[in-house]
Amino acid sequence: MTTPVCTGTSGGAATIGHVPHGPYASRAPHAPYPSFSSFVRARGPVLLRAARSLTANPSDAEDLLQTALTKTYVAWERIEDHRALDGYVRRALLNTRTSQWRKRKVDEFACDELPEQEASPTPDPAERQTLHDAMWRAVLKLPDRQRAMVVLRYYEDLSEAQTAEVLGVSIGTVKSAVSRALGKLREDPELAPVR
């Protein structure tokens, strides 16, 4: 829920972020922010980034900043050192966010028994190692050139072009040699349970 900061009602219409007759409209020239609206224009983007660091949702961050600016506007006359305004707004952001967090509704209910979690099937490490060993033994049975290409393509994760460059052959040679090697691996009796 966004609450606009209405800072003036001259002429019967509320204006957002503009103080035509604010208490500091005639402030001394050494004041960094002669009005609330000039402060918001100058520091708004920086303060919005601070608000976004406190909440994940950009809309919530805007609401949070709007609330903190409302609190700052209400206290504008009491803030003597306008160089401390950023700190004041940041403190208001933090306090507002903490208050929201404390008031949040938590849907937790006490129960006698914890619900059973479905056990996701995890592969047996021994089976994975057995499969890994069988695959490596099958790769070692390949001719040297095919073995090199299979290792570079599938163990080292190189592309066909990279494999061809490393071995000094054409991409077509890599494709055909890898295809023949995969055919031999499919026919290896030790890998029959994998198929």
Q: Band of the pLDDT at 167, cuts 50, 70, 90? A: confident
Mean pLDDT, the chain, rounded, equals 77
CA 138, CA 49: separation in Å to the nearest integer?
57
Q: Band of the pLDDT at 154, cuts 50, 70, 90? A: confident
Q: What is the mean predicted confidence (pLDDT) over 53-69?
A: 88
* pTM for the model: 0.39
For 119-128, how does the pLDDT look when each residue is reduced to its tens digit (9 = 90+)?
Answer: 667 777 888 8
Per-residue pLDDT at 109? 64
For 63-105, how does the pLDDT look when each residue is reduced to its tens digit (9 = 90+)?
Answer: 999 999 999 899 888 888 888 888 889 888 888 888 877 777 6
Is the pLDDT at 9 greater than 60, yes or no? no
